[in-house]
Structure 1
Amino acid sequence: MSTPATHDIAAEQAVIGAVLLAPDQLDSLAETLTPNDFYRPAHAGLWEHLTRMRAEGVPVDPLTVAANLATAGELERLGGASYLHTLIQAVPSVANAGHYARTVADHAKRRRVVTLGHKLTQAATTGDPGSVLAELAELDTGSGWPALVPLGERRHLPVFPAEMLPGWVADQVAAVAEFTQTPIDLAGSIALAALSTAAGGRAEVEVRGSWREPVNLFLVSVLPPGSRKSAVFACMISPLLCAERALAERMRPVIIETELLAKVAGKAAERAANVAANASDPSVRDSMIADAAAAAMQAEAINVPPVPRLIADDVTSEKAASLLAEQGGRLAVLSPEGGIFATLAGRYSGTPNLEVFLKGHAGDMLRVDRQGRPAEHIDKPALTLGLAVQPDVLRDIAGMPGFRGKGLLARILFAIPENTVGHRKIGADPVPADVAEVYATNLAALVASLAEWTDPAVLTLTQEANELVLNLEREVEPLLAPTGAWAHIVDWGSKYVGAVVRIAGLIHLAEHLRDGWAQPISADTIDRAARIGAYFTAHALAAFDDMGADRTTQYARHVLAWLSRTLTTAFTKRDLLRSVRVQSPTAADLDPVLSLLELHGYIRPAEQAPRTGAGRPASATYLVNPELYRPAATVTALRTGDQKTA
């Protein structure tokens, strides 16, 4: 099953460009489209301006439109004169303008369904659902059932666009997903974590001026137990462990030699101190003390390099800080579990300690006190986080002290894949040896090429790439407004463009393994990173929706999971109570749940047969919307890029 898109920027550009080329088409197209149907705010503004000019009898040609917008002070806000030319160039055929308009209108309806989902959730618990139901009636599918409105956006999330990754990474991601029969999202997210670990703070992208983004990421995938998370981690991370051992072997002679020098220097300083202490002639004692002090300073100046380490598992904040100081400010915390969140929340210390992770993501200076040594300043710490957690952990972390308020959740790229358990193919093909070998070799090469850098390598952007970043900023900014679509995740959305730039830096380094710093990041790389960023945006909206879900919504999701497992077409309230007793202990708890599911179009009450005779009345029966059981895409389909229904 393909994941429905909620916008098509190319279609929006084509319909506006067609009007600029053939203004007479505007009259008929305006009957199909309104400004609110456009996803990109600049396109909505342009359409509103074009229709107004047409109504006033003003010519709708590029020069007149540009002059009119400039007079109104709107030209630069809506993209400038050059963007009008871009819109004209985006038109494949003016004759197909009606098709482009219908495409834009259809996507607007899909966005309306998503909005209705949020309204229905609120109306079921806190408001009057009547007005929302009236809106929903307009979207009737014609099958006797209303349109299925997701609880949040969980059911209709996009699939990770692995094809946007460098070829050798995408091949490994697809092969691991196939072999483990897991969603491609999991391997894709861990692949980004692996690249982030390999680059490990040794590079940063210079966007413009003093704005630089380090290329380390925080990634969290959410999957239920039994989803083979550990197997995927093993396949994607094991080359890093091999590279870590190779670095350690290469450093072993240096470490041994330095330890010996430090030992000899220490003994020499100790002997000099003893000689000075035992000197009986005051005339030479001062000279001996000076010699002993010099020997002690020389011994102290010898720093034994640590054994190189790339990866830690479930560490405390204090241990992470110590490892960061030891490893020159670079470390990755990778784990198929989410226990570290409880640790950060103060499971052992009783006090949340998020500073190391907050500064480790941002690259802000960190002061580290290590036992037996002077305090150290890490100028640009770079911490990578790659975790796979269970859904309950996702809901728990929203309530952990400081996680939202201090900005930890705002730094995380979430992935909430569709669960493949129960639909997995038995005896799937293993990862091809050549694919695994290329992945391991290239990942090790990336580690080795950057391992010796002390100051980060600076990656620059081409002029075209910088323009794409600017356009992305223009798109995002209105979404962060109090009335914007991202208003409730403004903390996350404010870091979105930076996250896209970081992903672009990793793609660039992975495609230029040994000299990525010698050439700028291209516009194509930014575009591919933005497509991955769009994936994480949809999943972040779902993750924050899930974290903020109330008790009724959580129960409703348990019921949907039960229906998906049983594939039943009808059930009674008594059946449901027996089956989900753990999540919903009383019949009273089910009433608002059933109402919520009915409002979202998942179920509806069946007509009850008239009661005859004595005895307990029959339990209420509900019918299930068959749309709920559309089969999920198989892993094989995801691997090949064919997301049609299997």
Structure 2
Amino acid sequence: MSRTTHDLAAEQAVIGAVLLASDVLGDLAVTLAPGDFHRPDHAALWETLLGLHAAGRPIDAVAVAAHLAEAGDLAKVGGAAYLHTLMRAVPSVANAGHYAAIVADHARRRHVVDLGAQLADLATSGADVTDVVAAGRAMLDTATAGGWPTLIPIGTGRHLPAFPAEVLPDWVAEMVYAVAEFTQTPLDLPGSIALAALSTAAGGRAEVEVRGSWREPTNLFTVVVLPPGSRKSAVFSAMTGPLLGAERALVERTKPVIVEAELAARVAGKAADRAANAAANADVSGRDTLLAEATAAAMQADAVTVPVLPQLVADDVTSEAAASLLAAQGGRLAVLSPEGGIFATIAGRYSGTPNLEVFLKGHAGDMMRIGRQSRDAEHVEKPALTLGLAVQPDVLRDIAGMPGFRGLGLLARILFSLPENTVGRRKVGADPIPADVATTYAENLTALVLSLAEWTDPAVLPLTAEANQRVLDIERTVEPRLAPGGAWGHIVDWGSKYTGAVVRLAGLIHLAEHLRDGWGKPISADTIDRAALLGDYFAAHALAAFDDMGADPATRNARTVLAWIERTGSTAFTKRELFRAVKTAQLATVADLDSALDVLDAHGYLRLLEPPARTAKGGRPPSPSYLVHPEVHRPAATVHAIDAARRTA
């Protein structure tokens, strides 16, 4: 870059003036944006100063150095010594506004140079000459325009709410808060896994009666999305560990019953054998009577059922193994894992053929017919499968393309959670989980398991009249969102199950508050209201999850356009040029680009140039022209430095 398009001394003086007198920053921020600085380290420092100012934190050399050191970015901006160099470079703090004007003027000059380069790119791209001229005029009109906005990653533009742990029963909420603090993870992770733990404890043994024949089982599918290193395993261990203790308690309670049943089976079997031998050796006159007695003995022996050892939790099982376990465990099973390998497994990693039936029916409670190697096929009248997973972002994007996951409705059954990543901002030496909190959580979760373990037919939880009205209100609110063009129109499969999910959540909250007698009490309106807050949370996160998976056509097409921009290095283009490059079955007409370009514009990636007024009649109107945000093609090291400053601020 030519020396005439930046002034290093002015940039140093501006930042130094703020370090010497932080009260001038408010006025300077109106004039200067981080992108106005030529040097990347100056841009990163200005971004940090703005963030500290917005947070009401001190802005001086010592405080800024400590903040950057904690974030690991101090060396990237020249170290603490450079901060003092900046302060020494200030001729007079009183002239800070003058220095800022110099920096801003050079930024505008660089902008003009960039526009010239963009126009040159456009001229050599093969675009129509008319479009190039029109774009050039519009570019010049923007030469004194303000800076670019901060890029918002596609799929994360909406603000996602934090997990509302306060709506959970106290003993669950306290454990969620304690685990989040100790592991320094977002509340979303232990909160979502706590719901999966409650689902494991109660699933298959209770269902909510809404109205008429509409009943919802109390099992859930929850999936939390976090990158590697997020301490998912530690959270899983804390939140689901007590289930293994409850499983051991069930095993110890069942062992005597198994011994007694096995003994009864052997006795009945030997009696049947003796009766069969007697019938076989009898003469013709007495054979019919003995044959009838042998038949009765054989039927009595076959009627003796030996229970299997209880199992509440499985890990990465195949669909076939999950079906067998469901049949053996009376229809109740949970697949809990801090990894997402189960998705690849059911998509056919081992068999080569996707098998989603057990998961679809296991969520809905639809009757399953399962073939057993040792006996004829048997029915599981009301299966209740729980799914509680924590997966990496790449897994979330992969599952959208797995055969049948969307089309058959598996994704529609999942409550997604996309928490903010806390890695890099975690407190070292956080307080451990209080012993009394962990003990109460383990005891109560075990009590919930044991109180419902003996139920064969599910306990029915009715709604109070007021609670039923709350559910009707939710249905009335949701229905317009599902219409074509509605807020949930592109996730109508998920949205159609939303009210049922809220009812299931209410059932779990109810049972967790009435550990030993919840089956004998109706669900209150307050419980529905609390579940609805969880529903609002999961709805917001589902929209973000489906956006990230490309379920929204506009988002999917926006990614296609952005990939073309990055691949070609385009800094300016016309709509006509773009269409020729990305035309596909999904982008079949120029009009199909509109929603994608709107998404990119809303996220800051593009700027639409206003076309010049037409002075001649006739001829084809110029194609709309767009500028590309400079950060799209900025070197990765520079982007990382500025992003790090933005995050730590």
TM-score by length of 2: 0.65
CA deviation profile, 1:255-278 (whole Å, cap 9, x unmatched): 001001101211221222223223
Residue 542 of structure 1, CA deviation: 0.7
In structure 2, distance between residues paired with 1:203 and 1:401: 32
In structure 2, relative to structure 1, the CA distance for the partners of 1:620 and 1:357 (3 Å cut) is closer
Which residue number in structure 2 is paired with residue 98 of structure 1?
Answer: none
Which residue number in structure 2 is paired with residue 495 of structure 1?
Answer: 497
Which residue number in structure 1 is paired with residue 472 of structure 2?
Answer: 470
Out of 167, 176, 179, which is 1:176 matched to? 179
Residue 291 of structure 1, CA deviation: 2.0
| CA RMSD, Structure 1 to Structure 2 (Å) | 3.3
CA deviation profile, 1:86-145 (whole Å, cap 9, x unmatched): xxxxxxxxxxxxxxxxxxxxxxxxxxxxxxxxxxxxxxxxxx9xxxxxxxxxxxxx9855
Which residue number in structure 2 is paired with residue 394 of structure 1?
Answer: 396
Residue 485 of structure 1, CA deviation: 0.7
In structure 2, relative to structure 1, the CA distance for the partners of 1:629 and 1:470 (3 Å cut) is farther
In structure 2, distance between residues paired with 1:619 and 1:294: 83
Q: Is 1:528 the equivalent of 2:523?
A: no
Amino acid at match of 2:494: W
Give SS of 2:355's match. Answer: coil
In structure 2, relative to structure 1, the CA distance for the partners of 1:601 and 1:516 (3 Å cut) is same
Give SS of 2:457's match. Answer: coil
Which residue number in structure 2 is paired with residue 612 of structure 1?
Answer: none
Does the CA-based 8 Å contact 1:203-1:456 persist in structure 2?
A: yes
1:350-499 to structure 2, matched below 5 A, reads 350-499=352-501
1:290-369 to structure 2, matched below 5 A, reads 290-369=292-371
In structure 2, relative to structure 1, the CA distance for the partners of 1:483 and 1:288 (3 Å cut) is same
Out of 207, 210, 227, which is 2:210 matched to? 207
Residue 248 of structure 1, CA deviation: 0.6
Give SS of 1:156's match. Answer: coil
In structure 2, distance between residues paired with 1:191 and 1:169: 7
Residue 314 of structure 1, CA deviation: 1.0
In structure 2, relative to structure 1, the CA distance for the partners of 1:627 and 1:477 (3 Å cut) is farther
Which residue number in structure 1 is paired with residue 197 of structure 2?
Answer: 194
In structure 2, relative to structure 1, the CA distance for the partners of 1:472 and 1:147 (3 Å cut) is farther
Does the CA-based 8 Å contact 2:605-2:629 persist in structure 1?
A: no
Which residue number in structure 1 is paired with residue 270 of structure 2?
Answer: 267
Does the CA-based 8 Å contact 2:558-2:600 persist in structure 1?
A: no
CA deviation profile, 1:543-591 (whole Å, cap 9, x unmatched): 111111659749989x99xxxxxxxxxxxx9xxxxxxxxxxxxxxxxxx
Which residue number in structure 2 is paired with residue 153 of structure 1?
Answer: 156
Does the CA-based 8 Å contact 1:221-1:416 persist in structure 2?
A: yes
Give SS of 1:358's match. Answer: helix
Does the CA-based 8 Å contact 1:190-1:233 persist in structure 2?
A: yes
In structure 2, distance between residues paired with 1:384 and 1:542: 23
| Structure 2 residues without counterparts, runs of 5 or longer | 1-130, 132-144, 570-595, 607-627
Rg larger in structure: 2
Which residue number in structure 1 is paired with residue 228 of structure 2?
Answer: 225
Residue 468 of structure 1, CA deviation: 1.3
In structure 2, distance between residues paired with 1:208 and 1:185: 32
In structure 1, distance between residues paired with 2:430 and 2:390: 22
Out of 513, 516, 521, which is 1:514 matched to? 516
Does the CA-based 8 Å contact 1:556-1:596 persist in structure 2?
A: no
CA deviation profile, 1:270-298 (whole Å, cap 9, x unmatched): 2222232233x222222222222221111
Query: Across the two proteins, how many residue pairs are aligned to each other?
Result: 452
In structure 2, distance between residues paired with 1:263 and 1:407: 46
In structure 2, relative to structure 1, the CA distance for the partners of 1:470 and 1:255 (3 Å cut) is same
| Structure 1 residues without counterparts, runs of 5 or longer | 1-127, 129-141, 561-572, 574-592, 608-617, 633-644
In structure 1, distance between residues paired with 2:452 and 2:166: 25
Does the CA-based 8 Å contact 1:255-1:305 persist in structure 2?
A: yes
Which residue number in structure 1 is paired with residue 591 of structure 2?
Answer: none
CA deviation profile, 1:233-254 (whole Å, cap 9, x unmatched): 0000011100010011011101
Give SS of 2:224's match. Answer: strand
In structure 2, relative to structure 1, the CA distance for the partners of 1:368 and 1:507 (3 Å cut) is same
CA deviation profile, 1:4-29 (whole Å, cap 9, x unmatched): xxxxxxxxxxxxxxxxxxxxxxxxxx
In structure 1, distance between residues paired with 2:514 and 2:167: 15
In structure 1, distance between residues paired with 2:193 and 2:208: 21
Give SS of 2:333's match. Answer: strand
In structure 2, distance between residues paired with 1:538 and 1:552: 20
In structure 1, distance between residues paired with 2:630 and 2:399: 39
Give SS of 1:526's match. Answer: helix
In structure 2, distance between residues paired with 1:330 and 1:460: 21
CA deviation profile, 1:368-421 (whole Å, cap 9, x unmatched): 111121211111111111011111111111111111001000000000111111
Does the CA-based 8 Å contact 1:605-1:620 persist in structure 2?
A: no
In structure 2, relative to structure 1, the CA distance for the partners of 1:235 and 1:620 (3 Å cut) is closer
